[in-house]
Amino acid sequence: MTTKSPKDTAIEWFNRVWAQGSAAAIGELMTESAVVHQEGGVDVRGPAAFLEFHRQMFAAMPDLTLRILRAVGDDKLAAIHWEAVGTHRGNLFGMAATNRPVRITGMTFVIAEGGRLAEGWDCWDVGSLKASLAI
């Protein structure tokens, strides 16, 4: 049994999956029954579905990088405040490529079990993102 805290698990998730772009880390760090609740009431269930979301994000922004701004947690839960930047080079949330720089800020609330993501809730500044890409 792991002694990794939910905060440590969440930090590892964001560093490997998003900052390093590791698709392989998704299967390693997410339970099979995990659910990620995204903006607009969209739920992504399990590693296979999350892998597809990850692929779409990196297809839209191949140079995507993420940094953790703040991380807090206790023995059951963690919250990560993050910033992602990249260049809009493909379809992103239904918007064709603009080749404009993209900056997304958000927060993710995480429940981790045994060193793996079990459930998460995302809150992004989608309005500012879409406004910055509007032509």
Every domain of the chain and the residues it spans:
6-133
Q: Average per-residue pLDDT in the chain?
A: 91
**Is 129's pLDDT higher than 90?**
no
Nearest to 36 by CA among 110, 95, 97, 129: 110
Here the tokens at position 8 are 């440590």
* Banded pLDDT at 135 (limits 50, 70, 90): low
Run of H or E including 87: strand 77-87
11 Cβ partners below 8 Å, 6+ apart? 68, 71, 78, 80
Q: What span, in angstroms and rounded, lies between the C-alpha atoms of 28 and 2?
A: 13
**Is 14's pLDDT higher than 60?**
yes
Q: What span, in angstroms and rounded, lies between the C-alpha atoms of 135 and 126?
A: 16
At 60, the amino acid letter reads A
- Using alpha carbons only, what angle is made at residue 6 by residues 5 and 7, rounded to the nearest 5 degrees? 90
Q: Write the pLDDT tens digit of every residue in 69-119.
A: 999 999 889 999 999 999 999 987 788 899 999 888 999 999 999 999 999
What is the dihedral angle through the alpha carbons of 55, 50, 52, 72, rounded to the nearest 10 degrees?
-20
Q: What span, in angstroms and rounded, lies between the C-alpha atoms of 135 and 44?
A: 29
- Residue 121's pLDDT is 96
- Residue 131's pLDDT is 76
Tell me which of 3.40.50.720, 3.10.450.50, 3.30.420.10, 2.130.10.30 is the CATH number of domain 6-133. Answer: 3.10.450.50
